[in-house]
Amino acid sequence: METVERAGAARFAPIDPAGLGSQLHCFIRELYPICRSITGEGLRKTLRRIGARIPLAVTEVPTGTPVFDWTVPREWNIRDAYIKDSAGKTLVDFRCSNLHVVNYSVPVRERMPLAALKQHLFTLPDHPHWTPYLTSYYNDTWGFCLAHERLLEMKDAEYEVVIDSSLEDGALSYGECFLPGERSDEVLISAHTCHPSLCNDNLSGIAVAVFLAALLRGASLRYSYRFLFAPGTIGTITWLALHESRVSDIKGGFVLTCVGDRSPCTYKKSRLGNAEIDRAFEQVLRHAGLPYRIQEFSPSGFDERQFCSPGFDLPVGCFMRAGSGYAENHTSADDLDLVSPSALAESLLRCWTVIDLLENNRTYIGRVQKCEPQLSKRGLYRTLGGRAPTGEEENAMRWVLNFSDGENSLLDIAERSGISFEILRSAAEALLRSELLRAT
Amino acid sequence: METVERAGAARFAPIDPAGLGSQLHCFIRELYPICRSITGEGLRKTLRRIGARIPLAVTEVPTGTPVFDWTVPREWNIRDAYIKDSAGKTLVDFRCSNLHVVNYSVPVRERMPLAALKQHLFTLPDHPHWTPYLTSYYNDTWGFCLAHERLLEMKDAEYEVVIDSSLEDGALSYGECFLPGERSDEVLISAHTCHPSLCNDNLSGIAVAVFLAALLRGASLRYSYRFLFAPGTIGTITWLALHESRVSDIKGGFVLTCVGDRSPCTYKKSRLGNAEIDRAFEQVLRHAGLPYRIQEFSPSGFDERQFCSPGFDLPVGCFMRAGSGYAENHTSADDLDLVSPSALAESLLRCWTVIDLLENNRTYIGRVQKCEPQLSKRGLYRTLGGRAPTGEEENAMRWVLNFSDGENSLLDIAERSGISFEILRSAAEALLRSELLRAT
Amino acid sequence: METVERAGAARFAPIDPAGLGSQLHCFIRELYPICRSITGEGLRKTLRRIGARIPLAVTEVPTGTPVFDWTVPREWNIRDAYIKDSAGKTLVDFRCSNLHVVNYSVPVRERMPLAALKQHLFTLPDHPHWTPYLTSYYNDTWGFCLAHERLLEMKDAEYEVVIDSSLEDGALSYGECFLPGERSDEVLISAHTCHPSLCNDNLSGIAVAVFLAALLRGASLRYSYRFLFAPGTIGTITWLALHESRVSDIKGGFVLTCVGDRSPCTYKKSRLGNAEIDRAFEQVLRHAGLPYRIQEFSPSGFDERQFCSPGFDLPVGCFMRAGSGYAENHTSADDLDLVSPSALAESLLRCWTVIDLLENNRTYIGRVQKCEPQLSKRGLYRTLGGRAPTGEEENAMRWVLNFSDGENSLLDIAERSGISFEILRSAAEALLRSELLRAT
């Protein structure tokens, strides 16, 4: 079983991925039934469940607030929705799945023939068992989503159509969990909270973020950490608008989304492309011993679109697995079976290791710059020279000593040497104990 | 059928490659019989035929004019040349092919035995049916070129040898077609005009240049365009010597040569290697959907050798197909069959698309730099969000918006995104109409 | 047979690798029996043998001299050592091989049972016929190395153990051969001299260095050359400590080690990675027509560890064949059969060609910068133009002319063109004779 063992500073306790996987999945099951949107009671309820596990400050931003090019929209709430046939039989029922209603549908209460109703019915003919997930946030309309096979069964008759929703002035809600560290420099971890009953996108991201925050909460931290739980796009835009003057504190960060499926871990770089966070994820994934992917930045995707807009250009990437490219994305098939406890745990472990790297990525200066220091007189050299094999740690010490000229961080040395950050950090700690290094 | 459709500014009309291919070939047939050289009446006649199609200013530079390390040579003209056997039968006849005489041969009128004559006979033993093309511009000598199989038939007898040529003070001629645009910055397109009856090298380059000029003539242009029709090497050197103070206007350009054969399109970069013209050709060829080659600069080749000499180092590349590496090059087999109407049309189309790119390669600034602008309220977003597919144009708009920070041209964005320049330009035009972009 | 033919300046005579190979091997045989260490009489004797072939200044640095983080150790000498069984039969005998004693063993004269003795016996179970080579320079202990099959024959009895060695105040010895050139800039060539009877590591490096020095001795040189024969690590550290103020003269250099085995030539780059010496070796190996390897710098290896420590960061690489990775390294199997005369000669030839490159790597300026100069009027152009083939030398001349703008050395042009340095240098010499180039 893979664990994070902390040599050296050992600020963090080791974590047990196996136990965490089932806890993560359990939290996803808890949040799954709630009908979330970019505003409304479902979103608030979700934030309350998060707040039960980690300290969370919730902000309510009133409808009509201008946020850059956007405006906070009216608040949407829904109580019920259904389509009944003339015999009163319910064919499509919001109570069975909140995906059945186009998110942000205006209220409707009508009787209409199938031909007229069909303008408002959406299916996936290529996946006849699945219900699609659709939204209409900024276009007043209404609709139902259903399995294509259900649509085929609907006869040319009259139907009763009800959406008991409301669109009224209210607020957009988001939550923040801030964990202060020694420095005011922040690491930002963001997960969108607007999707209704969809597990991978993005209950998986919410769950991993919550557990990361819980794990970090008790630790002594170098950086401050901010976990943001906001609706996608408009929520993140709202947060950025309200925190515009403080984003310069963000030293690095990542969006967490779709981290529960069984595809390889994938990191999409920030627009900057070579930020420390980008290099940290690449380093951690390279040495994790499993397949992984690194993607260049592109302006489609998730909330990194906002963090990496040219006026901010923050060092914020996106950590995911399949990304949005999996067939089940934005359908009812993105369900509890799609997300795996072991994938969730692996995703958490990678993030944890990245944070560990950021916390420990120092730049040292060797006290002996001219020629090598004598390792043997400090007990850092094997007993006999010659044929006796050089240990991995002695090799790592030589890399740290040679490149600790004040210009190279441990991550720089890891990249140049091919040796893992973890081994180099152990070597650096041994050298610090022998006073062969000092911090810059 | 592939055409250039102009969305947006639509300054240029679409062109029909099929029709143009046969017109290009027809013009090559018209020029084919003329005996050109680096000076003389054949060169002047060729410039008159070009001048019948596009406005052409012809310059005559007198023999003896110093041009950098060179001197404009005496003018060469030829009326007739032949070898007859003792029975009066003509064995080699200039009137059948002007390739039979070594270009710039001094006059001769002698009788001589085969052994002496052979010092002046040149053949290609490996291609016994072909006549080679040879020159002796700066070395007073004379010679005949013929098929090797003809040489083998010549008996050891006495022959009458006549070259009725003259080498006298005169002038070197070149022609320029200048099309003024909004800006004095020039795009230079050059085709060497010194080769006699050789089709691919370089009647193909002349024809494509003439047609490009004709197509551009009526357009409203951002850049000015200069088409240069000069003899290779000495003509281009002469032109550069006479325009030395004005070459700083040359913002980009290319030599057009050997563009009628059936090999893939090939672009050889300028010495600078990353000039806009280099990147424009690479972009256009990459998205043309056909095999192509990009070559690094080398100081052998065509007149790019002069434009890219270190004292000029102009952003001038070379567009060709096989280049000079095809077996028939500089032989009688470089004839009307070697050049194909469809290859000529394709070459023209690529140049046209490159010019279109240069004309439209702007750098914009998005009016919303912080977070994305709201596309939906401007009708630029699909009706429903969620599972509804993102269109290619919406994706292109996101690229243009994110990277229009004043630092990136559309070509920069095309290179980074992998999206074709054409699609990005359409997206930029939609964004301009919505006032989401402004020009720098 | 491959030879170095010197066109142009011809300062160096051609060398005959075949003859040199056997001379190199002969010199290795001469040095093989001597018991070397990082100090002592064996080291002094080796330096005397070197001094018999090339002028050598020997320096003795007293025990206790501080050298950066180290101290010059006591001098070690050994007269005899053996293990005898109770019957007086000698089982392990220093006189048979000096590898049998752990280098720097303290004196011992004891009788002890096998169990106790075994703590001091070292073997290679995976190579039961070989004796390992071990050292204990900075840890007062003693030991014997022997073949594993011999150890298995030793019975559980009492043994007489004698090491007649001494560790006393004395000196560390190193030798320098300095060959002055026109410039005070130095090329440093270093070979460690501390290993006892091991042929590839490093009698091969010593031999090649001595022969290089002998070959260069009579030549007229641009650079000065310093050949350093010093014990590994402590010797080089000592030399650097004593020459600290003068290392800025070192313009390039390389460590010579393990150059007699049959693996491909390998060059390990300096820490700088793109120094002229790094590029020169890569250029020479690329054009040698045989397999080769280029390695990035790493801080394990040989004395490049000291030259490339961050406080010096000198342009010093390491030339070797298998490097230290061969199975026989630091064992009795690194013997006279492991080193091949032809490999030694090839190694010498590569170094010689690298030095030739350094001596001749000039940056020129073409006297004609605008357009090409007219080669034909200087007799540098083939007789006829057109179909007549362009020679390799004409092509090389065009490269030299185009890129001799004062910014590019011949090595820069070689790298860009892919043409070998040797051909470009010939072309440059032809152009110099025609006064088309001048030196910067």
Predicted confidence (pLDDT) per residue in B97-150, tens digit: 999 999 999 999 999 999 999 999 999 999 999 999 999 999 999 999 999 999
State the fold for domain B88-168: Glucose Oxidase; domain 1 (3.50.30)
CB atoms within 10 A of CB A303: 26
Mean pLDDT rounded to a whole number for chain B:
95
Proportion of chain A above pLDDT 90, given as a percent:
91
Query: Does residue A8 carry a pLDDT above 50?
Result: no
Chain B residues within an 8 Å CB radius of A299: 398-399, 401-403
Query: Does residue C170 carry a pLDDT above 90?
Result: yes
Chain C residues within an 8 Å CB radius of B139: 376, 383-384
Q: Which class for A108: exposed (0-12), middle (13-18), buried (19 or more C-beta within 10 A)?
A: middle
Query: Does residue C369 carry a pLDDT above 60?
Result: yes
| Cα separations in angstroms, A115 against A120, A143, A151, A158, C253 | 10, 14, 12, 9, 86
Helix runs in A186-271, H state only: 205-217, 234-242
The full DSSP string for C26-79 is HHHHHHTTS---SSSHHHHHHHHHHHTTS--EEEEEETT-EETTEE---EEEEE
Query: Does residue C427 carry a pLDDT above 80?
Result: yes
Of C136, C237, C330, the CB nearest to A371: C237
pLDDT band at residue C440 under the 50/70/90 scheme:
confident
Mean pLDDT rounded to a whole number for chain A:
95
Q: What is the pLDDT of residue B2?
A: 43
CB contact under 8 Å between C309 and A399, yes or no, is no
| pLDDT tens digits for range B377-419 | 999 988 788 876 678 899 999 999 999 999 999 999 999 999 9
Q: Does the fold of domain C363-439 match that of domain C75-168?
A: no
Q: Which residues are paired to B439 by β-bridges?
A: B364
Q: What is the pLDDT of residue B385?
A: 84
| Cα separations in angstroms, C115 against C86, C101, C120, C158, C229 | 15, 19, 10, 9, 41
Closest Cα of chain A to B282: distance in Å? 21
d(CA B277, CA A363): 43
Closest Cα of chain B to C417: distance in Å? 7
pLDDT, mean of residues C376-388: 84
The two tokens of residue A177 are: 């969990």
Q: What is the pLDDT of residue A57?
A: 98
Q: Are C211 and C24 in contact (CB under 8 A)?
A: yes
The full DSSP string for A406-436 is EEEEHHHHHHHH---HHHHHHHHHHHHHTTS
Residue of C nearest to B123 (CA): C387
Instruction: State the greatest distance between any 2 C-alpha atoms of chain B, in Å, as a whole number.
Output: 93
Chain C residues within an 8 Å CB radius of B237: 371-372
d(CA B223, CA B209): 17
The two tokens of residue C156 are: 């559980």
Q: Are A339 and A306 in contact (CB under 8 A)?
A: no
Reduced to 3 states, what is the DSSP secondary structure of residue A72?
Answer: coil
| pLDDT tens digits for range C324-333 | 889 999 999 9
pLDDT band at residue A16 under the 50/70/90 scheme:
confident
> What 8-state DSSP symbol labels residue B439?
E
Closest Cα of chain C to B3: distance in Å? 37
pLDDT, mean of residues A185-210: 98
Q: What is the pLDDT of residue B381?
A: 87
Closest Cα of chain A to C248: distance in Å? 14
Q: Are B421 and B388 in contact (CB under 8 A)?
A: no
Beta strands at B265-268 and B186-192: parallel, antiparallel or unpaired: unpaired
Q: What is the pLDDT of residue A4?
A: 38
Chain A residues within an 8 Å CB radius of B399: 298-299
Q: What is the pLDDT of residue A12?
A: 54
The CATH class given to the C17-72+186-360 domain equals: alpha beta
d(CA A123, CA A153): 13
Query: Cα-flanking dihedrals φ and ψ of residue A255, to 5°?
Result: -85, 135
Closest Cα of chain A to B431: distance in Å? 14
B256-266 burial string, b = 16+ CB within 10 Å, else e? bbbbbbebebb
User: How many residues make up chain C in this entry?
Assistant: 440
Q: What is the pLDDT of residue A262?
A: 97
User: Could you check whether the bond before residue C395 is cis, i.e. omega within 30 degrees of 0?
Assistant: no
Q: What is the pLDDT of residue C73?
A: 98
Reduced to 3 states, what is the DSSP secondary structure of residue C199?
Answer: helix
Q: What is the pLDDT of residue C7?
A: 31
d(CA C180, CA C390): 42
pLDDT, mean of residues A420-432: 96
CB atoms within 10 A of CB A90: 13
Q: Which class for A50: exposed (0-12), middle (13-18), buried (19 or more C-beta within 10 A)?
A: buried
Query: Does residue B17 carry a pLDDT above 80?
Result: no
Chain A residues within an 8 Å CB radius of B385: 134-137
Q: What is the pLDDT of residue A384?
A: 81
| SS3 annotation, B327-384 | CCCCECCCCCCCCCHHHHHHHHHHHHHHHHHHHHCCEEEECCCCCCCCCHHHCCCCCC
The full DSSP string for C371-414 is S---SGGGT-S-SSEETSPPPHHHHHHHHHHHHTEEEEEHHHHH
Q: Which residues contact C219 (CB under 8 A, 6 or more apart)?
A: C11, C12
- What is the dotted CATH code of the domain comprising C363-439? 1.10.10.10
CB atoms within 10 A of CB A412: 15
Substitution target from B65, B124, B309, B329 for chain C, most C beta carbons within 10 A: B309
Reduced to 3 states, what is the DSSP secondary structure of residue C212?
Answer: helix
CB contact under 8 Å between A241 and B371, yes or no, is yes
Q: What is the pLDDT of residue A325?
A: 86
> What 8-state DSSP symbol labels residue C127?
S
| pLDDT tens digits for range C236-262 | 999 999 999 999 999 999 999 999 999
Reduced to 3 states, what is the DSSP secondary structure of residue C259?
Answer: coil
Helix runs in A183-287, H state only: 205-217, 234-242, 276-286
Q: What is the pLDDT of residue B5?
A: 37
| pLDDT tens digits for range A292-309 | 999 999 999 999 999 999
| Cα separations in angstroms, B410 against B14, B219, B402, B405, C237 | 22, 22, 12, 11, 56
- Rg of chain A on CA atoms, in Å: 26
d(CA C259, CA C285): 14
pLDDT band at residue B9 under the 50/70/90 scheme:
very low
Q: Which of B310, B152, B10 is nearest to C365 (CA)?
A: B310
Q: Are C238 and C277 in contact (CB under 8 A)?
A: no
pLDDT band at residue A390 under the 50/70/90 scheme:
confident
- What is the dotted CATH code of the domain comprising A17-72+171-359? 3.40.630.10
Of B371, B385, B390, the CB nearest to A137: B385
Q: What is this structure's pTM?
A: 0.93
The two tokens of residue C330 are: 């630091």
Query: Does residue C412 carry a pLDDT above 80?
Result: yes
Q: What is the pLDDT of residue C199?
A: 98
Q: Which residues contact B354 (CB under 8 A, 6 or more apart)?
A: B254, B277, B280, B281, B284
d(CA B229, CA B23): 19
Q: Are A356 and A284 in contact (CB under 8 A)?
A: no
ipTM confidence score: 0.94
C314-347 burial string, b = 16+ CB within 10 Å, else e? bbbbbbbbbbeebebbbbbbbbeebbbbbbbbbb
pLDDT band at residue B10 under the 50/70/90 scheme:
very low
| pLDDT tens digits for range C104-132 | 999 999 999 999 999 999 999 999 999 99
Reduced to 3 states, what is the DSSP secondary structure of residue B324?
Answer: helix
Of C68, C103, C138, the CB nearest to A371: C68
Q: Which residues are paired to B389 by β-bridges?
A: none
Q: Which class for C91: exposed (0-12), middle (13-18), buried (19 or more C-beta within 10 A)?
A: middle
d(CA B188, CA B180): 12
- Rg of chain C on CA atoms, in Å: 26
Q: Are B413 and B403 in contact (CB under 8 A)?
A: yes
d(CA B37, CA B173): 10
CATH architecture label of C75-168:
3-Layer(bba) Sandwich (3.50)
Q: State the amino acid at position A435 in one-letter form.
A: E
d(CA A343, CA C430): 69
User: In the sheet where C437-439 sits, what is the strand order?
Assistant: C405-409, C363-366, C437-439
Mean pLDDT rounded to a whole number for chain C:
95
**What are the residue ranges spanned by the domains of chain C?**
17-72+186-360, 75-168, 363-439
Chain B residues within an 8 Å CB radius of C434: none
pLDDT, mean of residues C79-108: 97
Q: What is the pLDDT of residue A11?
A: 45
Q: What is the pLDDT of residue C11?
A: 45
Query: Does residue B15 carry a pLDDT above 80?
Result: no
Q: Which residues contact A189 (CB under 8 A, 6 or more apart)?
A: A209, A212, A213, A225, A226, A227, A228, A253, A254, A256, A351
- What is the dotted CATH code of the domain comprising B17-72+171-360? 3.40.630.10
Query: Cα-flanking dihedrals φ and ψ of residue B350, to 5°?
Result: -65, -45
Q: Measure CA of the first residue to CA of the last residue in chain B; give whole Å.
A: 37
Q: Which residues are paired to C409 by β-bridges?
A: C363
Query: Does residue A139 carry a pLDDT above 90?
Result: yes
Q: What is the pLDDT of residue A18?
A: 76
| pLDDT tens digits for range C350-366 | 999 999 999 999 999 99
